[in-house]
C-alpha cells in the first residue's frame, strides 16, 4: 500500500488520537500489519463482534448522550456517556477513540475521522489476527447480525449469511434473527441435529421447544468445545431471553426463551466436569446489566462476551473472576481478548476494543467483491435520494433521537394523528448535516419483518399506561425484568419522567399538543412495529414518502422529554 505525505500526516493524527505513546510509530501502527498495536499474550485469542444489524458498509453512528443507571448502577459502566465516559477511561476529547466511543463533537469528528465499520474492513483485521495467531483464534458473533438493512430484508438475510461465512464467524448466538421466522432460522443455522447454510456453530442454551409442554426440549446446541493453543474452550450460547415478548409470537410459535440461570449452571458444570474444558465463555445476547447479574449467579464462567445493549466497553467489567465484555454495534468495533489458559483455569488476560476506522483500514478485496455483488441488483433503488438533512440525525439513547422525530412526524402527517408511537430500537445509523438521505438510510431505521403501520383512537389513560409500561421495562431496578430497548418514542407529546419513581408513577406532566392530557379524552394515535397483525402501509414507505415531500430536514432539537434528577 503506497502512502503519500498527506496520508502520513492523516495517519499521525488518527494514531495519536487512539493513544499511541510514540507518534513516530504512528504510520506503522496504522498500517494493516500493525493496526492492532497489540502485544500478543497467552495461548488463546477471542475476537468478538456483535449487533452489526446487517451493516455491510461503513457508516456514521453516534453514541448515546443519555444512559441512565438505576441505584447502584448509576455513574458506573455501562451507564456513562459523554465527558464522564471519556474521563472514566482516560480518553482524550477530540481523539479518534473519543469519536468512536462518545457523542461529543460528533459532526466535527465525523468529518475528521470518517465512517466506521464495514465488513470488508473488519475482514482485514480478522485475517491479520488469524495469520498472527494461527490455531489460537476464534471469531465469535453475539447476534443481531441478520436484521437492519434493506438488502437483508429483501434477500431474507441471504446477503448477511454470505458475509458472515466469508468473514469466517466460528460461533454465533441470536436475537433479531428470529424475526425472519423459525423455519428460516433453521435453514440458516440448523438445529441440534443438523447444520444449516451457516458454516460456523450456532449455540443457544435457553431456547426450548414447548410443543408438548414445559420444560420442553432444547432446539439448538447449548454449547460447543474448541481446542485452541493446547487448551479446551467451552462456548455456551445465550439467546436474548425476551425474544417472544419483544417481537410477534407468530415468528417463533412453540418456543420458550428466558434467562435460565439454573440450566446455564448445569451446562457450565458439564463443560468443566465431563468435557474437561480449561475455560468457559458465555456468548450472550442478554445486555450488559443482565450479564453482570448472571455473572454473580452462575459459577464457573470465565468470560462473558455480550451484546444487545450496543455498549462499547474499552475495558472488561470484572465480576468476581468473570470478565464481562461488550463490543458495541454496527461494526464499529472488534474486540480482541488474549487469554493465558491451562490446567482448568484462566491465569491472565489482555484486552483491546479496536475502533474500526474504515477510512484508515484497507478493505479486504474478497469481502469487498462479495458485498458489491450482493448489493448490485438493488444499487439504483438503494441510492434514491429522498431529501437532504440539515440536522444531525441519530437514534440511540434512552429518549427520542432526531431520526425518531422524522419517523414520528411522518406517521402523524400520514394519518393526521395527534400522537405517534415509535419503538425505542437501538439500531439505525446516523446522518450528518448536509448528507443526502437515501432510501437505504430510511430502511436502516425501519427494516424489519413486521413493518406495517396502524392508526386508531386511544384515550389519555391508555397512552399513559403504554408509556409507564415501557418506562418500567427500561428502569426496573432488577435487570432481569428489563426486556430490551430504550424508551418508546412519542410524537406530539411532551412529558417529565422520574426513573426512580414507583411503577405507574414515573410519567408526569404529560401534554398532547401543548395542552395537559386528559385521561378520558380520545386522541387519534398512529404507530408501527405492532405485536398484532395490522394492515397499514409499511413504515419504510411512509417515511420515504414523507422525506420526498419535505426535501430538506431541519428539526427543532429541543427535547420534549424532561428527566427528573438527570
Q: What's the sign of the alpha-carbon dihedral 164, 167, 170, 171?
A: negative
- Beta strands per DSSP E along 287-329: 303-306, 317-319, 322-326
Average pLDDT over every residue of 370-399: 97
In angstroms, what is the C-alpha Rg of the chain? 23
Looking at the predicted structure, is the pLDDT value of residue 12 above 50? no
pLDDT of 507-518, one tens digit each? 999 999 999 999
Looking at the predicted structure, is the pLDDT value of residue 8 above 90? no
pLDDT of 332-350, one tens digit each? 999 999 999 999 999 999 9
Q: Show Cβ contacts of residue 364 under 8 Å, excluding neighbours closer than 6 positions.
A: 120, 121, 123, 124, 127
Spatial distance between the Cα atoms of 331 and 346, rounded to a whole number of angstroms: 28
Looking at the predicted structure, is the pLDDT value of residue 232 above 50? yes
* 23: its cell numbers: 507518534
- Give me the residue label for grid cell 428460516: 184
* 508: its cell numbers: 408526569
Q: What are phi and psi of 345, to 5 degrees?
A: -155, 160
Q: In what order do the strands lie in the sheet with 552-553?
A: 436-438, 385-389, 552-553
pLDDT on residue 15:
36
pLDDT on residue 151:
98
Provide, rounded to the nearest whole percent, the portion of the chain with pLDDT above 90: 91
Spatial distance between the Cα atoms of 251 and 410, rounded to a whole number of angstroms: 27
pLDDT of 442-484, one tens digit each? 999 999 999 999 999 999 999 999 999 999 999 999 999 998 7
Q: Which CATH architecture does the domain made up of 39-59+117-372 adopt?
A: 4-Layer Sandwich (3.60)
pLDDT of 89-131, one tens digit each? 999 999 999 999 999 999 999 999 999 999 999 999 999 999 9
Spatial distance between the Cα atoms of 163 and 373, rounded to a whole number of angstroms: 11
Q: Show Cβ contacts of residue 471 under 8 Å, excluding neighbours closer than 6 positions.
A: 487, 497, 499, 506, 507
CA angle 192, 286, 122 (to 5 degrees): 80
pLDDT on residue 214:
87
3-state secondary structure 345-408: EEEEEEEEEEECEHHHCCCCHHHHHHHHHHHHHHHHHHCCEEEEECCCECCCCCCCCHHHHHHH
Looking at the predicted structure, is the pLDDT value of residue 31 above 80? no
pLDDT on residue 37:
79
pLDDT band at residue 32, thresholds of 50, 70 and 90?
very low
pLDDT of 251-260, one tens digit each? 999 999 999 9
pLDDT on residue 483:
85
Spatial distance between the Cα atoms of 463 and 68, rounded to a whole number of angstroms: 23
Are 485 and 67 a contacting pair, CB within 8 Å? Answer: no
- Beta strands per DSSP E along 372-503: 385-389, 419-422, 436-438, 453-459, 489-491, 493-497
pLDDT on residue 10:
41
Name the residue among 496, 233, 218 with its Cα closest to residue 346. Answer: 233
* pTM of the full structure: 0.93
- What are the angstrom distances between the C-alpha of 481 and each of 63, 259, 403, 427, 554? 24, 10, 28, 21, 38
Spatial distance between the Cα atoms of 133 and 551, rounded to a whole number of angstroms: 51
In terms of CATH, what superfamily is 383-563?
5'-Nucleotidase, C-terminal domain (3.90.780.10)
Name the residue among 161, 150, 168 with its Cα closest to residue 187. Answer: 161
DSSP 62: P
Provide, rounded to the nearest whole percent, the portion of the chain with pLDDT above 70: 93
Are 443 and 150 a contacting pair, CB within 8 Å? Answer: yes
pLDDT on residue 22:
37
pLDDT on residue 128:
94
pLDDT of 391-434, one tens digit each? 999 999 999 999 999 999 999 999 999 999 999 999 999 999 99
Spatial distance between the Cα atoms of 254 and 214, rounded to a whole number of angstroms: 10
If one compares 81 and 28, the residue with the highest pLDDT of the two is 81
- In this chain, the answer to whether the domains covering 39-59+117-372 and 383-563 adopt an identical fold is no
- Say whether 80 sits in a helix, a strand or coil: coil
How would you classify residue 213: left for phi > 0, otherwise alpha for psi between -120 and 50, otherwise beta?
left
- Give me the residue label for grid cell 419483544: 246
- Provide the residue ranges of all domains of the chain, joining segments of one domain with +: 1-34, 39-59+117-372, 61-114, 383-563
pLDDT of 154-207, one tens digit each? 999 999 999 999 999 999 999 999 999 999 999 999 999 999 999 999 999 999
Looking at the predicted structure, is the pLDDT value of residue 233 above 80? yes
Average pLDDT over every residue of 276-301: 98
Amino acid at each position: 500500500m503506497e502512502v503519500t505525505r498527506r496520508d502520513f500526516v492523516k495517519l499521525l493524527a488518527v494514531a495519536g488520537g487512539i493513544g499511541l505513546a510514540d507518534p513516530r510509530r504512528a504510520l506503522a501502527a496504522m498500517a494493516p500489519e500493525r493496526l492492532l498495536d497489540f502485544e500478543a499474550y497467552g495461548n488463546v485469542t477471542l475476537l468478538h463482534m456483535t449487533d452489526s444489524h446487517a451493516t455491510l458498509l461503513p457508516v456514521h453512528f453516534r453514541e448515546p448522550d443519555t444512559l441512565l443507571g438505576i441505584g447502584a448502577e448509576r455513574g458506573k459502566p455501562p451507564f456513562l456517556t459523554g465527558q464522564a465516559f471519556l474521563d472514566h477511561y482516560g480518553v482524550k476529547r477530540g481523539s479518534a477513540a473519543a469519536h468512536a466511543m462518545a457523542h461529543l463533537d460528533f459532526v466535527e469528528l465525523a468529518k475528521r475521522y470518517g465512517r466506521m465499520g464495514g465488513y470488508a474492513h473488519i475482514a482485514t483485521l480478522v485475517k491479520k489476527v488469524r495469520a498472527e495467531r494461527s490455531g489460537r483464534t476464534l471469531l465469535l458473533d453475539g447476534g443481531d447480525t441478520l436484521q437492519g438493512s434493506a438488502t437483508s430484508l429483501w434477500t431474507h438475510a441471504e446477503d448477511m449469511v454470505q458475509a458472515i461465512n466469508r468473514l469466517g464467524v466460528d460461533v454465533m448466538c441470536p436475537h433479531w434473527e428470529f424475526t425472519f421466522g423459525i423455519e428460516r432460522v433453521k435453514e440458516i443455522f440448523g438445529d441440534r441435529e443438523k447444520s444449516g447454510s451457516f458454516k460456523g456453530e450456532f449455540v443457544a442454551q435457553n431456547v426450548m421447544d414447548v410443543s408438548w409442554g414445559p420444560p420442553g426440549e432444547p432446539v439448538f446446541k447449548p454449547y460447543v468445545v474448541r481446542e485452541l493453543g493446547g487448551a479446551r474452550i467451552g462456548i455456551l450460547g445465550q439467546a436474548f431471553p425476551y425474544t417472544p415478548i419483544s417481537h410477534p409470537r407468530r415468528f417463533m410459535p412453540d418456543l420458550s426463551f428466558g434467562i435460565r440461570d439454573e440450566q446455564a449452571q448445569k451446562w457450565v458444570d458439564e463443560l468443566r466436569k465431563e468435557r474437561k474444558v480449561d475455560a468457559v465463555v458465555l456468548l450472550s445476547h442478554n445486555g450488559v446489566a443482565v450479564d453482570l447479574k448472571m455473572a454473580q449467579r452462575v459459577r464457573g464462567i470465565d468470560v462473558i462476551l455480550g451484546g444487545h445493549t450496543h455498549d462499547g466497553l474499552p475495558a472488561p467489567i470484572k465480576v468476581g473472576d468473570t470478565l464481562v465484555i461488550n463490543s458495541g454495534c454496527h461494526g464499529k468495533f472488534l474486540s480482541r481478548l488474549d487469554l493465558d489458559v491451562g490446567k482448568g483455569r484462566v491465569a491472565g488476560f489482555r484486552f483491546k476494543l479496536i475502533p474500526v476506522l474504515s477510512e484508515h483500514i484497507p478493505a479486504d478485496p474478497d469481502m469487498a467483491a462479495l458485498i458489491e455483488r450482493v448489493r448490485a441488483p438493488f444499487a439504483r433503488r438503494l441510492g434514491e435520494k429522498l431529501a437532504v438533512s440539515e440536522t444531525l440525525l441519530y437514534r440511540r439513547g434512552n429518549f427520542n433521537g432526531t431520526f425518531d422525530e422524522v419517523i414520528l412526524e411522518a406517521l402523524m402527517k400520514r394519518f393526521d394523528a395527534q400522537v405517534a408511537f415509535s419503538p425505542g430500537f437501538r439500531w439505525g445509523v446516523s446522518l450528518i448535516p448536509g448528507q443526502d438521505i437515501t432510501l437505504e438510510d430510511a430502511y436502516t431505521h425501519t427494516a424489519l419483518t413486521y413493518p406495517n403501520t396502524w392508526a386508531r383512537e386511544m384515550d389519555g389513560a391508555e397512552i399513559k399506561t403504554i408509556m409507564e409500561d415501557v418506562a418500567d421495562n427500561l428502569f426496573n431496578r432488577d435487570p432481569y425484568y428489563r426486556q430490551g430497548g430504550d424508551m418508546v418514542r412519542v410524537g406530539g407529546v411532551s412529558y417529565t419522567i422520574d426513573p426512580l419513581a414507583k411503577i405507574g408513577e414515573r410519567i408526569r406532566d404529560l401534554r398532547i399538543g401543548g395542552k395537559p392530557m386528559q385521561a378520558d379524552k380520545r386522541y387519534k394515535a398512529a404507530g408501527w412495529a405492532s405485536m398484532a397483525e395490522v394492515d397499514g402501509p409499511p413504515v419504510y414507505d411512509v417515511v420515504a414518502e414523507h422525506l420526498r415531500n419535505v426535501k430538506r430536514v431541519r428539526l427543532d432539537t429541543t427535547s420534549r422529554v424532561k428527566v427528573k434528577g438527570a
